[in-house]
Structure 1
Amino acid sequence: MGRRCIGQEKFGFVLERGKPSSLDALVELIDWAPIDGALGMISSAAKGEPAWPPLSLFRAMLLSVWYDLSDVKLAEALDDRASFRRFCGFSVSEPTPERTAFVGFRRTLVAHGLDKVLFEQITDQLKAQAIQVKTGTLVDATIIASASEIDGEGYWVKHKGRPAVHGFKAHVGADADIVEEIAVSPANVNDGKAGPDALPDNPGEVYADSAYRGSHFGDAVRAKGGTPRVIATAMWGRDEAETLARLDAWNQPIHRIRGRIETIFGTWKRSYGLRRMRWRGLAKAAMQIRLTAIA
C-alpha cells in the first residue's frame, strides 16, 4: 500500500491562512529533503489504508515537543489549527492523523535508530548556519524522572540534599546553544564514565565540573583532539593561601563558561516539558531527549 498524497489544496489554503506563523519561518530554516530521505526507509503497510508521509509525522513530533502535547492533544490540535496543518503539509480540508499514527511512528523511529540519525542531520545543518566560530565544548548531565517508577530500565539516584529520583540521565556535549552530542543512560551511571559518549569530534577545550575529573574522561577528550578543562577539587602546594589562590584561579573561568549549559537544561525542562519522560524504556527516553534537543 502506498503513502497518502497530502497538501493538494495548498494554493487555496495559502490564500486563507491569514497572518504568518512562526512555524512558517521554521519550515524555511531546515533543508527537509535529506530528512525525508532518512525517513524513506519507513515502509508502507502492505494492507489497509495508505500510510501517512513520514516527514509529516516527524514534523508533528516536533510540534508535540514545542507545545508540550500528548498524542491525543496533538491529534486534536493538528485537526484544528491552520498553522499546524501548514507546518506538517496538510491542506485545509483533508483529514489528519489519529493518535495511533504517532504511536506507531515513534515505535518505528526507535526500532531503526532513526532518532539519532535525524538529530545528527539537523544538528549538522544548524552548525553549518551558525555565525560563531567553535571555541570549545560544554559537557554535563541532567537527571530526568522516568514515566513510571516500575520502569525496569530506569534507576534510582539520590544527590545530597535532594529527594531520590527514579529515571534516566542525559549526558550532553554542547557548543554555545547547539547540542552536538547526546548519550542517555540510567540515572545511576557516573557522569565521568558516560562523559566520553557525549563528546563531539574535535571538541576544542572541554569544560566540565568535578564529576569528570580522572583519566577516563581526560584521555577520551585528548583522543578526540581536545583539551580537558575540568573543575579541580584540590591542588598540592607548600603554602595554603597560595595553593587556594591557584585553585580558585583555575576553577573560576571554568565555572563561568561551563555554567552556560544549565540554560540548555533549563529550557528543556521549563519550556519543553522534559521534567519527566513520557514513555517507558531507555530507547524511548533517548528518543524523547533527542527530539527535545532538535526542537
Structure 2
Amino acid sequence: MIDWAPVSGALGVISCAAKGEPAWPPLALFKAMLLSIWHDLSDVKLAEALDDRASFRRFCGFSASEPTPERTAFVRFRKSLATHGLDKALFEQITRQLKSRAIKVKTGTLVDAAIIASASEADDQGRWVKHKGKPAVHGFKAYVGADADTALVEEVAVTPANVNDGRAGLDALPDNPGEVFADSAYRGDHFGDAVRARGGTPRIVATGMWGRDEAETLGRLAAWNQPIHRIRARIEKIFGTWKRSYGLRRMRWRGLAKAAIQIRLTAIAYNMKRSLKIIAAVG
C-alpha cells in the first residue's frame, strides 16, 4: 500500500547514532514510531516489543537475530524529526499516496479541532483553555481537515490550546476542498473567505437567522444546521479513534514541535489503517 522509497529518501538527512555507536536505519525507526501509535506504547514498551515480537521486527525490517533499538534511539529520532521539521513532509508524502488509492472523487471536507492535554502543566508552550461546562485544560489543539466521504485526514495544523478556531482552522484546509463542513466556531469572514479562496463552499453551523416569527426562524435554522451536523459528526469518530485507540488522550512529550510530531504520526497511522478498510471494502 505504501512505496517506502520516497519516505526513506526524506529521512535520509537523519542520523540517530549515539556517540561511538552505529546508526539505526531512520526508516526502521519511523516504522517503529507507527507501531507505538497503533499499539499505544511508550518508548520503553516499544523497545521491549521490538526485541520480543517477530511481527514488529518484520515490519521494521529487522531480522530475527539482529539487535533492535533501545529507548534512547527513539528519543534521538524525535529530536531529529523536530530539528529538520520532517513530520509535515512525511505526513504529506504518505497521505498523498493513500489518497491516490482511496479517494476517487472529492466532494467535501470536514474541519474541526480537538484539545489535547499537555504532557505537563509546566510545558511553557502549552496554553490553558476553558469551554463552558467543562474543566480548564492545559495543552494544544489539533486542527484536522478530513475528506467528507472517506474520513481520511488530508491536512493537520497544531497550535497552543487558546488559539481561535476561526483563524487557525484555515491551516487545516486542503486545496479544492469542495463543501466545507464546520461548527459555529468557524463563523466569520476570515475562515469563509479562506474556503472560497481555495475553491470551496463554506457550510458552517449557524447560531441565528432572521424570520417573520420564532417558529419560522427556528425551522429555517434547523433546516440549515441538521445536514451539516449529520455530515460533520464523522470527524468526531476520527478524534475518538485517536484518543481511545492511539493514546492521544494527552501529549507524551513537551513542546509544540514534539506535539506536532505526535499528532502527525497519529494521523499517518490512522490514515494507513483507514485506507486498508476503504480498499478492502471496494475490492
Q: Please report the TM-score for the alignment, with normalisation by the length of structure 2.
A: 0.92
Matched, 1:273 2:243: no
Q: Secondary structure at the match of 1:181?
A: strand
Q: 1:147 aligns with which of 113, 119, 126?
A: 119
Shift of 1:238: 2.1
SS of the counterpart of 2:62? coil
Aligned mates of 2:254, 2:15 — CA distance in 1? 25
Root-mean-square deviation (Å): 1.3
* Aligned match of 1:160: 132
Deviates more, 1:268-277 or 1:238-247: 238-247
Change (3 A) 1:222 1:267: same
Alpha-carbon offset, residue 126 of structure 1:
0.7
Task: Give 1:132 shift.
Answer: 4.4
Q: Which moved more, 1:234-243 or 1:193-202?
A: 234-243
Could you tell me how far apart the structure 1 residues matched to 2:16 and 2:233 are? 46
Alignment pair present for 1:94 and 2:49:
no
Partner of 1:263: 237
- Report whether the alignment pairs 1:293 with 2:267: yes
Q: Offset at 1:190?
A: 1.3
Separation of aligned partners in 2, 1:67 and 1:54: 20
Task: State yes or no: 1:178 paired with 2:152.
Answer: yes
Which structure carries more relative contact order (alpha carbon 8 Å, separation 6+)? 2
Query: 1:56-75 alignment to 2 at 5 Å?
Result: 56-75=28-47
**SS of residue in 1 equivalent to 2:37:** helix
Indicate yes or no: 2:174 matched with 1:200.
yes
Local SS of the residue matching 1:51? coil
Partner of 1:30: 2
Asked if 1:241 corresponds to 2:210, the answer is: no
Amino acid at match of 2:89: V
Offset from partner CA, 1:4-60 (integer Å, 9 cap, x none): xxxxxxxxxxxxxxxxxxxxxxxxx21101100111122476962221110000000
Q: 1:114 aligns with which of 86, 97, 102?
A: 86
Q: How many Å apart are 1:133 and its aligned residue?
A: 2.0
In structure 2, how many angstroms separate the alpha carbons of the residues matched to 1:139 and 1:45? Answer: 39
Q: Tell me the SS of whatever aligns to 1:156.
A: strand
Amino acid at match of 1:58: F
Matched, 1:189 2:163: yes
In structure 2, relative to structure 1, the CA distance for the partners of 1:44 and 1:269 (3 Å cut) is closer
35-44 or 179-188, which moves further after superposition?
Answer: 35-44
Gaps of 5+ in 1: 1-28
* % identical equivalent positions: 83
| Partner in structure 2 of residue 138 of structure 1 | 110
CA distance in 2: counterparts of 1:154 and 1:234, whole angstroms? 33
Q: Deviations over 1:101-127 (max 9, x none)?
A: 110000000111111111001100110
Check if 1:81 corresponds to 2:76: no
Per the TM alignment, residue 232 of structure 1 is displaced from its structure 2 partner at its CA by: 0.5
Alignment partner of 1:103 out of 75, 79, 98: 75
Distance, in Å, in 2 between the alignment partners of 1:216 and 1:36 is: 38
SS of the residue 1:62 aligns to: helix
Please name the residue that 1:49 is paired with. Answer: 21
Pair 281,47 (structure 1): closer, same or farther in 2 beyond 3 Å: closer
Whose Rg is larger? Answer: 1
| Amino acid of the structure 2 residue aligned with 1:111 | T
Unpaired runs of 5+ residues, structure 2, are: 270-283
Instruction: Check 1:72–1:220 CA distance in 2 against 1; reply closer, same or farther (3 A cut).
Output: same
Does residue 225 (structure 1) correspond to residue 199 (structure 2)? The answer is: yes
Deviates more, 1:44-53 or 1:272-281: 44-53
**Structure 2: distance between partners of 1:126 and 1:232:** 34
